[in-house]
Amino acid sequence: MNKVKVIISNDQKETAIPKGIRLLIRRCCHAVLLEEGFTDDAEVSVRFVDGPTIKELNAQYRNVDKETDVLSFPLGENGEYDKNLDTGALLLGDIVINVSRAVDQAEMYNHSLQREIGFLTVHSMLHLLGYDHENGGLEQSRMRSKEETVLTKIGLKRDNSYYMEED
């Protein structure tokens, strides 16, 4: 695989982005492309937002009027992508992460924020490459398996703490 440019912006103020998260996101993007055998130069945009912003984006682009944890906006279809005319890199798309929801989910699933943001990034990268889980079944199973494979390879293996404590 060649170069992967990950452009990260923070468009929210309510949650501080911990040190190392930007590097983690770059590692996740690279690991997905490596696992998928992607050999071209690539560009991905990752944007941190708050709950109201992602709710607005979800309503505008998916007609779903609710807050979510992450959105993926693929720029390609069937393995065909636009190119950055200056660099020749393939433009894979945009990932939008709701940081406050990621913090809540990390706590709910009893794992680190790094694991949660890593999962959301890997999940979205697979969407940018054409994977879908919306209809369940084999595609959902395939996507989940790929997510865990990539996360394990970068040291964010799932542990046995995926439970919710009852009050």
Condensed to tens digits (0 to 9), the pLDDT of residues 66-104 reads 999 999 999 988 889 999 999 999 999 999 999 999 999
Q: Which of 17-31, 100-114, 122-136, 151-165 has the lowest mean pLDDT?
A: 151-165
For the segment 15-23, the average pLDDT, to the nearest whole number, is 95
**Cα 153 versus chain centre, distance:** 16
Confidence of residue 134 (pLDDT cuts 50, 70, 90): confident
- The whole-number pLDDT of residue 71 equals 98
Q: Which domains does the chain have, with CATH numbers?
A: 4-153 (3.40.390.30)
Q: How confident is the model at residue 61 (pLDDT cuts 50, 70, 90)?
A: very high
Parallel/antiparallel/unpaired status of strands 42-49 and 90-98: parallel
Mean pLDDT over each residue of the chain, to the nearest integer? 91
For the segment 106-127, the average pLDDT, to the nearest whole number, is 96
* Cα distance between residue 156 and residue 30, in whole Å: 15
**Residue 88: exposure state from Cβ atoms within 10 A (0-12, 13-18, ≥19):** exposed
Cα distance between residue 124 and residue 92, in whole Å: 11
Is residue 161 predicted with pLDDT exceeding 60? no
Q: Please determine, for residue 1, whether its predicted confidence score (pLDDT) is greater than 70.
A: no
pLDDT at position 159, please? Answer: 62
Output the CA–CA distances (angstroms, integers) from residue 131 to 57, 62, 84, 100, in the order listed.
21, 17, 23, 25
pLDDT above 70: percentage of residues in the chain: 93
Candidate from 3-12, 44-53, 152-161 with smallest mean pLDDT: 152-161
Q: Is the pTM of this model over 0.85?
A: yes
How high is the pLDDT of residue 153? 93
